[in-house]
Chain A
Amino acid sequence: MSPEKGVVLTGSHFMLGDQACAEGAIYAGCRFFAGYPITPATEIAERMAERLPPMGGQYIQMEDEIGSIAAILGASVAGVKAMTATSGPGFSLMQENLGLGFMMEVPCVVVNVQRGGPSTGLPTSIGQQDMMQARFGSHGDYAAIAYCPSSPQEAFELTIDAFNTAERLRTPVLVMMDEVVGHMRERVVILEVGKRQLLFRRLASVPPSQYRPYRVDEDLVPEMALAGAGYSVRMTSLTHDELGRAVTDTATQAVLVPRLLRKVYEHREVYEQYELRHAKDAEVLVVAYGITGRSAMGAVEAARARGIRAGLFRPKTVWPFPGDALLRAARTVRRVVVAEVNMGQVALEVERLLAGKCTVVRVTSPGGEVLAPELILEACAPDRAPKVRR
């Protein structure tokens, strides 16, 4: 599944974050895209519609986002790396089949370029309001993996990482962008083919007669038999045993669900990423992700210029939250500031993790524009920062 030469746009480009996300998918070997137009994610679909057909890939515009995610799950079980992209309203529609992907263990990537909600909300403006939905939006107990890029370059890189994680762990992976990252145009450097390792799911290594679709070793990730490979695969949304048979009893559930959760939580080395800046001597730590991570960096530098020892903790994977790393970074900190373009979502997780060890201050916004660095600076040191006019 390595991308062919001539397909990947190696070189330095000036492009939208949405386009960079699409190019990351292409670099990662994604050859199937199903989507439905929605601002501010449409440019991803447009890019894929232009790029995929000539390279032998498949683009299909579905009738809605429910169909889109169902189609990428289908493409993936037939062995093609697949992605869809949407924004809040479409992401809501996808929730049920995200759970299906988790339950059946189907690798795929779902991009949400977040805008302001609830409902139709602010279609053309930024929000980071779907973070808790990304974590808990589908029903039942499941583990979400979500990347949050802060720039077009990172949209490119993290989309590749998202595919690798999806393939490695056989599970849907989210790329939670935001409208500003999606619609900003910046330099994106695309490496040559082969410079980044690309993963593909472990395929069935035994003949069909011995294949047990959901048998796992200590790695907890089962081998996958693709449609058409002669295995008479059976995959179901119901609780199932090692053979893939629907067995709806408590004993089977007690084996399956904890294993699916452990599969994600015990492989943090596969996906966990974060950036630390000026954290060593920090007395104030700013936690921010996506575009807000860049505002936060501005605030940290401004604080340092005023003699405030501020640092930045920027999770690139917000789910599962890099909790151990946060606790290490916050060991000597008096104050943690969580900045995000919502009314306090990831802040809940930070507060839970810090469990009263230090003061946690939220910088929130109902959405519409990027958080100004000055607002974050004020939260870092209310007594020493200039007052922000609201």
Chain B
Amino acid sequence: MSPETEEHRVRTPEAEKAPPHGHPLDSVLRSEVLPHIWCPGCGIGVALGAFLQGLDRAGIPLEKRVLVGGIGCSSRVVYYAKADAYHTTHGRAIPFATGIKLANPALHVTVFAGDGDLFAIGGNHFIHAARRNMDILVVCINNFNYGMTGGQSGPTTPHDARTTTTPNGNFEIPFNLPQLAAAVGAVYVARWTTLDVRRLRDCFTEAAGKQGFRFVEVLAPCPVSFGKNNDIGSGLDEMDYYRGLEQIWGSPAGLPERVEVRSNGDLSGTDISLHRPIIVGKFIDRVRPTFLDSYKAVATAAAAKGKPP
């Protein structure tokens, strides 16, 4: 086995027990419900794999893992991982997860959902959970469109991109998710593509080990909807786009490598455009008191006063 292959293995006790010819993640997947629903070339499975490896490395035990999804392809992640898993309503995964975390603070709660779920219908919950520094990890699979319903435009669809509801090109301006998350108070903000499997895995390990509102944006190909509508081709071609193969988009040849890694917290220029480099990296890593830290301090003081109502 080459070191390269070894790198992909999960070296947890659970993984060691996996059948010799099984999937290396069998111990943390609900393998009995496979195959999954995702299309060929979809990036969500890659993100899930990196997430599960990251959680293993962070030492989060299975019985402490909670996954909450909304509605959409990305939210279906909660079906396939071993965890207490809740597939809720469109846009409402974050408040549902908030209730779980506050009811049992010992749990490690992750919200897995798509860009439309988290930032269109669920945008209000996102900004408030971040403002409160609610102790949850939010993973956004950003594939630039509504995949499950067949490729409509959404809050992250790049300007000019074609979708079934922007057949002549998107005339709206998309969100810059890391900038948004940073502005509303997230303590950890990172963006990677599904090509950055190991960086993504390490990012999840790091994020899982921190407290507070953590946000990871994963740029994932959606060849069946977004790729098709924009003549990108297969999932591999779409991943190549993330890597910066400018010819896919008909841009002038000779552009520098499109994917740029930054970690100095500078979020300028991180907007995603069809015509500029996509900047990935860890943007924010800071400490703020969590909601529960502040709540407990106030509740303890109130209890000490013992004032009857």
Contact = CB atoms under 8 A, between A and B. Distances in A.
B306 interface: yes
Given A32-B103, A71-B98, A227-B107, A53 B298 contact: yes
A166 interface: no
Contacts of B68: 74
Interface string B72-90: 0000001100111111110
Nearest to A208: B63
B253 interface: no
B225 to A, nearest CB: 20
Interface string A64-77: 10111011111111
B102 interface: yes
B100 A75 contact: yes
B99 A232 contact: no
Given A58-B103, A232-B62, A47 B298 contact: no
Interface string A26-58: 000000101000000000000100110111101
B187 interface: no
Contact of A72 (B63, B99, B308, B309): B99
A11 to B, nearest CB: 11
B129 to A, nearest CB: 9
Nearest to B81: A232
Given A53-B303, A62-B95, A62-B128, A232 B102 contact: no
Contacts of A227: 66, 84, 86, 100, 103-104, 107
Chain A interface, DSSP helix/strand/loop, else mixed: mixed
Contacts of B88: 70, 73, 97, 100, 237
Contacts of B309: 9, 47, 50-51
Contacts of B79: 234, 236, 245-246
B64 interface: yes
B99 A228 contact: no
B103 A80 contact: yes
A102 B95 CA distance: 18
A97 B299 CA distance: 29
B104 A78 contact: yes
Contact of B84 (A66, A67, A82, A233): A233
B288 interface: no
Given A32-B103, A228-B64, A228-B104, A74 B298 contact: no
B30 interface: yes
Contacts of A211: none
Interface residues of B, number: 47
Contacts, number: 154
A235 interface: yes
Interface residues of A, number: 48
A370 interface: no
B303 A67 contact: no
A311 B127 CA distance: 55
B106 interface: yes
Contacts of A66: 91-92, 95, 125
A53, A67, A104, A245, most chain B CB atoms within 10 A: A67
Contacts of B124: 63-64, 67
A54 B302 contact: yes
Given A53-B298, A63-B124, A63-B128, A236 B96 contact: no
A82 B96 CA distance: 12
Interface in A83-101: 96-97, 100
A236 B98 contact: no
A70 B91 CA distance: 10
B249 interface: no
Contacts of A230: 62-63
A231 B33 CA distance: 16
B87 A71 contact: no
A229 interface: yes
B85 A235 contact: yes
B74 to A, nearest CB: 15
Contacts of A64: 124
Nearest to B128: A63
A71 B63 contact: no
Contacts of B91: 66
Contacts of B63: 228-230
B252 to A, nearest CB: 45
A231 B64 CA distance: 10
Interface in B266-308: 291, 295, 298-299, 302-303, 305-306, 308
B12 to A, nearest CB: 16
A79 interface: yes
B219 interface: no
B96 A73 contact: yes
Nearest to B299: A53
A50 B71 CA distance: 35
Interface in B202-220: none
A343 interface: no
A358 interface: no
B97 interface: yes
A291 B208 CA distance: 52
Contacts of A235: 85-87
Interface in B149-165: none
A202 B268 CA distance: 53
B63, B78, B298, most chain A CB atoms within 10 A: B63
5 contacts: A9-B309, A60-B98, A66-B125, A234-B79, A234-B85
Given A58-B295, A60-B98, 10 more contacts: A58-B102, A70-B99, A72-B99, A74-B97, A79-B103, A227-B103, A230-B63, A234-B30, A235-B86, A237-B71
By Cβ-Cβ distance, the 7 closest A-B pairs, closest first, are: A74-B99, A53-B299, A70-B95, A78-B103, A67-B95, A71-B99, A75-B99
